[in-house]
Chain A
Amino acid sequence: MTHSHPAPTTLELQREIDSIYSVQLDHVTKDFGGGVLGLDNVNLGFRTGGISVLLGLSGSGKSTLLRHINGLHTPTSGRVRVLGQDMDRLRRSELKAVRRDIGVIFQSFNLVGPMSVLENVCAGALGSLRGPRITLMMYPKAIRREALEKLDRVGLADRAYQRADTLSGGQQQRVAIARALMQHPKVLLADEPVASLDPVSARDVIDLLRQISAEDELTVIASLHQVQLAIDFADRIIGLRTGRVVLDRETAGLSAEEASQIYSSVSGMDTPAEASERAGATTAGSHTAKSGTEAAARVGATR
């Protein structure tokens, strides 16, 4: 496993690991109670500056994983380490400080609808401002200017004074990206950022994310469910199923056949080839679970 990190032996080694991996998950398990495991012994290290995509069906643990990284969830057991900090050992103020360095993009954009676009972007700077702001004019002029620049970067400066809920979905997601940029994040988490968008807007948003992460050297961790979009976007793909990592590989030099295997391993469904292979056999047992692990094993072997 190229990406899981060795156990820390000394402080120095830990520092070195931290500099290579912005985000580390060490034997992370999340028990939602009643035997429902959101995450099941997940070991992952995310390289600084890389783009990783989590693939999986809904309920596979993608959102749960992302929410552990910015401390909206705490693990039942195991350790989450982000930007050199153990998330579960932080005090409230320290947690806020780490969150300031982590930008989050949501599936439903989570803009304040009746508020102007510019004010929504300004809100991205709240983490570094003291006290609440109830109108745009309460933000310092420098923040407002910067927000306008970020809006220009996502191509929406001319919409600055429009209500956010009057924009199209794709535009709202770009505003949300501008808001995240106000944090000067080192890590960008995106939870199904294009799931509510039409294919053209989805492609636009993904392209924008890719461009921004390259320019700002961001560590990006996104969850998606379209395999092709993930392959085009990411350097690395991680497949999740029922809280377990079932696949983990680089996207460079991926063939079409391998892409189809990725799909089957993540969804737990047979690829056409496997289906015809098994057509003769009459074993009715737990095909889905078996084929998934088989595919994972095969993908592991190809590396």
Chain B
Amino acid sequence: MSLVLDREAPVVVEPQRPRPSGNSAVAVIVLIGLAVAGAWSVWSLGIDIATIASSFDNALGFFSRIVPLDFPAFGETVSLVVETLAIVFLATLLSVVLSIPVALLAARPTRMGRGSQWTARTLIVLARAIPDLVLAIVFLRIFGLGATAGIIAMGIHSVGMIGKLYADAIEELDDGPRESIEALGGSRSQQILTAIPQTLMPQLIATALHRFDINLRTSVLLGYVGVGGIGLAIADSLRTLDYQRGMALAVIVLVLCIVIELVSGSIRAALMASTGAKITGGTWVDRMFNRDRATGVGDLTLTPPWSVARFRRFASAAVLIVLTIAALWRVDVSWSALAAGLLDLPKTVSLFFPPSTGGTLANLVEQLLVTIQISLAATFIGAILAVPIGILAARNVVANRAVHKTFRVLIVIVRGIPELILAIIFVVISGLGEVAGTLALSIGAIGLLSKLIADSIEETDLQVQEAVRTTGAGEAQVFFSATLRQAAPAFVAHIMYLLDTNIRSATLLGVVGAGGIGFLLLNASRVNQFDVVTMVLILMVAVVLLVEALSMWLRRAVR
């Protein structure tokens, strides 16, 4: 060893160690600060082994209270499921319809001007920042109880995600085809409608399906404020302490979520697989429709032949139309209430202004802090458990197939359970309050974060690991010096994203009694203190934007 050093030493000039840049030093301090705040939140919320152990006792009592599960009659179940699906379907459809023009205005290649681009981007951010629950409270006031308010609320809030993803997709698209239409003298609408729809269609549908999954979970929550479907039935039975029925309905939601996720996942996979697929000689469908298809140039038809692709396009459009009509019929949208509500809009909106603290600002701030504590604590617990789970689930870290498969399946199962159902279960087990919310959010956080972590480890450059391995490094050395080093910035980004979503979720879970400002929100809307709803909303949006700004800065600083 020393021999080698001796030989090298005279030649190599010791390089100056560069000072770490100011930003990354501050970033580390901020990250440590967040971790300490997370740990402190866990402690101050009173979550420790003793609490969890006593919850375990409660859990036994909980099981005795919910067994036997009291499932509603088959017809009623189907009716509830169909109503929920109809509401979610219409909400997602509405948000797609709203998102397309917004995204076209917000994306650089298709924007009309800087002013309208800025407006569209602001609309997207606003739609994302205002929770659908708050929108539902507003629209219930405007349109009366029922599905309409829920559909519009989810439809508008979803623009925050769908509009952003659509705009991103348009910007990532190759601009060449659009430019070629511009070059040949095509108008703006010709450029957009020729070059974009067919290219983006698979992504548009995939995004909509993804949002459908999310909206299905949200629709349960909206039941608490009076939007119909399974959520309303759960809220009603829990209010009357009918846990046997409530938990049976929760099981139905759970199964529904898993089924829908599987269905939409397979549709998305099929969509992605069919893009750019080579057209072969033709399947039996081609042969059935085109028995006497011409082959010579002279007698080629001017109408496209009925290929599988064309048949599929027509069939999908037909199914979409039928589903829309069926859903509209099922939820029985009352158009007259809609019109009356719109006419009354100014009067209703004036109910929400000016914002008021509804008595004490101190109480609001205190509850807001509890919400922040819950999300910090849940993110902390989630991160501590999700990092090892995510690492073990990554295929390029654990060579043993059985191990990483097992952890992948575990993650899928945990992710399948809606946080809301978890919150309801924990509220029943450990009583109303922060502990229930934190535990529910933590489990949700584990599901989301461990998937993100496993994915970003699998995305690391394998060749770097190979390079380190060829130097004779052991597996642990390879992991720490090659794999983890590459994935670390992604970890920070994911954890900040988790904190961001947890603040929203913590607020929403408060509605079912899991502590924090959400409960104030629900109460204010029940006693018609709409000015307080506005105040809560302003506080929440401020916190969310603050966290988002912090996480944007952190992500750039650690890169």
Contact = CB atoms under 8 A, between A and B. Distances in A.
B180 A134 contact: no
A127 B302 contact: no
18 contacts: A72-B182, A98-B185, A103-B184, A104-B184, A108-B176, A109-B176, A110-B179, A112-B177, A112-B194, A112-B195, A123-B186, A126-B187, A126-B190, A127-B186, A158-B295, A160-B300, A161-B304, A166-B279
A99 B190 CA distance: 14
Contacts of A148: 297, 300, 302
B180 A113 contact: no
A102 B183 CA distance: 8
B199 interface: yes
Interface in A199-221: none
Given A179-B180, A179-B184, 7 more contacts: A96-B185, A96-B187, A108-B176, A112-B177, A112-B199, A127-B184, A132-B194
Contacts of A98: 185
Interface string B115-149: 00000000000000000000000000000000000
Interface string A96-118: 11111011101011111111101
Interface stretch (A52-60, A136-144, A225-233, A284-292): A136-144
Given A133-B190, A136-B304, A137-B303, A127 B177 contact: no
Given A126-B185, A127-B186, A113 B279 contact: no
Interface in B305-321: 305, 307, 309
Contacts of B181: 123, 126
Interface of A: 70, 72, 96-100, 102-104, 106, 108-116, 118, 123-124, 126-129, 131-134, 136-137, 141, 144-145, 148, 152, 157-158, 160-163, 165-166, 176, 179-180, 183
B323 to A, nearest CB: 21
B279 A163 contact: yes
Contacts of A109: 176
Given A134-B197, A145-B302, A110 B180 contact: yes
A123 B184 CA distance: 9
A114 B198 CA distance: 6
A180 B184 contact: yes
Contacts of B186: 96, 123, 126-127
A65 B65 CA distance: 80
Closest 3 CB pairs of A and B: A127-B185, A110-B176, A132-B193
User: Most chain-B CB neighbours within 10 Å: which of A97, A114, A141?
Assistant: A114
Interface string B205-236: 00000000000000000000000000000000
A126 B184 contact: yes
A99 B174 contact: no
A69 B353 CA distance: 57
Contacts of A157: 297, 300
Contacts of A118: 304
A295 B195 CA distance: 45
Contact of A114 (B174, B201, B303, B307): B201
B276 interface: yes
A169 to B, nearest CB: 14
A100 B180 contact: no
B275 interface: yes
A144 B201 contact: no
B192 interface: yes
Contact of A99 (B184, B197, B278): B184
A124 B302 contact: no
A121 to B, nearest CB: 12
A160 B297 CA distance: 10
Contacts of A129: 190
A137 B176 CA distance: 24
B189 interface: yes
Contacts of B307: 161
Nearest to B201: A114
A128 B184 CA distance: 9
A111 B297 contact: no
A152 B279 contact: no
A106 to B, nearest CB: 6
A110 B302 CA distance: 24
A116 B199 CA distance: 12
Contacts of B185: 96-100, 126-128, 183
A195 to B, nearest CB: 14
B198 A133 contact: no
Interface in B276-295: 276-279, 295
Nearest to A127: B185
Contact of A132 (B182, B189, B295, B297): B189
A233 B165 CA distance: 46
Nearest to B194: A123
Interface string B152-175: 000000000000000000000010
B193 A158 contact: no
Nearest to B302: A144
Nearest to B274: A114
Contact of B179 (A72, A113, A127, A160): A72
A189 to B, nearest CB: 8
